[in-house]
Amino acid sequence: MREHTNVLFDGTFDGFLSVVHAHYYDKLNPDYIAETASFQQTVGSAYEIVKTDNQKSEAVFEAMHKKISPDAASNIYRAFLFFEDERFMRIYRYALLGFKVGAGVDNWMKEDFVMYTIRSARRVSGEAHKLTGFIRFTETRQGVLYTKIGPVNNVLTIVADHFTDRLMNEQWIIHDEKRKIAAVYDGKDFMVTDVPDAVFFAESENEAAYRDMWHKFYDTIAIKNKINPKLQRQNLPLRYRKYMTEFNR
C-alpha cells in the first residue's frame, strides 16, 4: 500500500468510486481525499490524482449492492451528497469496512465514520423529501415547467428522480441556483447540466392567473386564530419560502 498520500478526484460520485476501485486494484491507501478544485496544497505534501473511470465506478457500485447491501450503497451515495467537505474520507472508510464485514456494517456504531455516514445520508434524504413537497413549478411560454431550488445539500438528482414518476408526461427543469446546475427532463429521462448565471425563462400567459388562484386558495384555507409562526418555521424553514408561490406576492 502507498501510505501518506493525498488523493484528488473530480468531485463526482463516479470519481469517488474510482478512488475506492484504486484502493483495491492499484494499492492506493489515501490519508486524505479531496476535490481537485478545492484542494489547498501545502509545502511538502504529496498527492495523487485519480481519474474518473465510469466502468470501474459502475463495477464498484454494483459490488457495494451485492457484497455489502443495497441500503449501504444508498447510504454511501446519499452521504456523498452531504454538504461538508470532510465527508469523503469518512464515507471511504465506511465503504472499506462494508466490504470487509458485509451487510452488518451499520451495526458498527462504535466507528465514528459509520455513524457519520448514516446520519449524513438521513439528513440528505430528509431535505430531499421536504423539497418534493415544497417545490412550486412555473409554466414557461415554451410549455416547459420550471422551478428553482437552493438546498443545503446536493439533492438535485434525488428530487429529479421523484418528479420523473410524478410528472412523467411533462417536460420540466429543476434549477439548483446555488450550485448552478439543473435537472432537465424531456418526457423520458433527465440529465444534469451546468446552468449559466444569466438564465431566464419567460412565464406563460396563464401563469399569473394560476399564481393568483394559488394565493387565494392559500389565504382561504388558513384559520387565522390558529396561525402559529413558530410551528410554521419548524415545519417549513425560511430558506425554502423564497421559492414558494404562496410566500411570494
How many separate domains does the chain show?
A: 2
Same domain, 86 and 167: no
Alpha helices per DSSP H over the chain: 13-25, 54-63, 70-80, 87-101, 112-134, 156-166, 207-221, 229-235, 238-241
The mean per-residue pLDDT over the stretch 19-47 comes to: 85
Same domain, 94 and 162: no
- Rounded CA gap, 152 and 135, in Å? 15
| Chain segment 122-176, per-residue pLDDT in tens | 999 999 999 999 898 988 988 999 999 999 999 999 999 999 999 999 999 999 9
- Rounded CA gap, 46 and 195, in Å? 34
Same domain, 140 and 48: no
| pLDDT above 90: percentage of residues in the chain | 67
Instruction: Give the single-character DSSP code of 138.
Output: E
Measured from the Cβ of residue 50, the count of other Cβ atoms closer than 10 Å reads 23
Same domain, 166 and 207: yes
> What's the burial of 2, exposed, middle or buried (CB within 10 Å: 0-12/13-18/19+)?
middle
97, 69 in Cβ contact below 8 A? no
The pLDDT of residue 226 is 63
The pLDDT of residue 43 is 46
| Chain segment 54-82, per-residue pLDDT in tens | 999 999 999 999 999 999 999 999 999 99
Tell me the Cα Rg of the chain.
21
| Chain segment 175-224, per-residue pLDDT in tens | 999 999 999 999 999 999 999 876 777 787 776 666 666 556 566 666 66
Same domain, 98 and 174: no
Of 68, 96, 126, the position where a domain reaches its end is 126
Which range among 4-13, 74-83, 97-106, 165-174 shows the weakest confidence by mean pLDDT?
A: 4-13
Same domain, 155 and 178: yes
> Residue 236: pLDDT band by 50, 70, 90 thresholds?
low
Same domain, 178 and 144: yes
Same domain, 112 and 141: no
Rounded to two decimals, the pTM is 0.85
Of 99, 126, 153, the position where a domain reaches its end is 126
DSSP three-state, residue 26:
coil
Same domain, 103 and 160: no
- Rounded CA gap, 231 and 241, in Å? 15
Same domain, 76 and 108: yes
- Rounded CA gap, 74 and 70, in Å? 6
Same domain, 35 and 62: yes
Statement: residue 95 has pLDDT above 50: yes
Same domain, 201 and 226: yes
DSSP three-state, residue 66:
helix
Residue 168 domain boundaries: 135-247
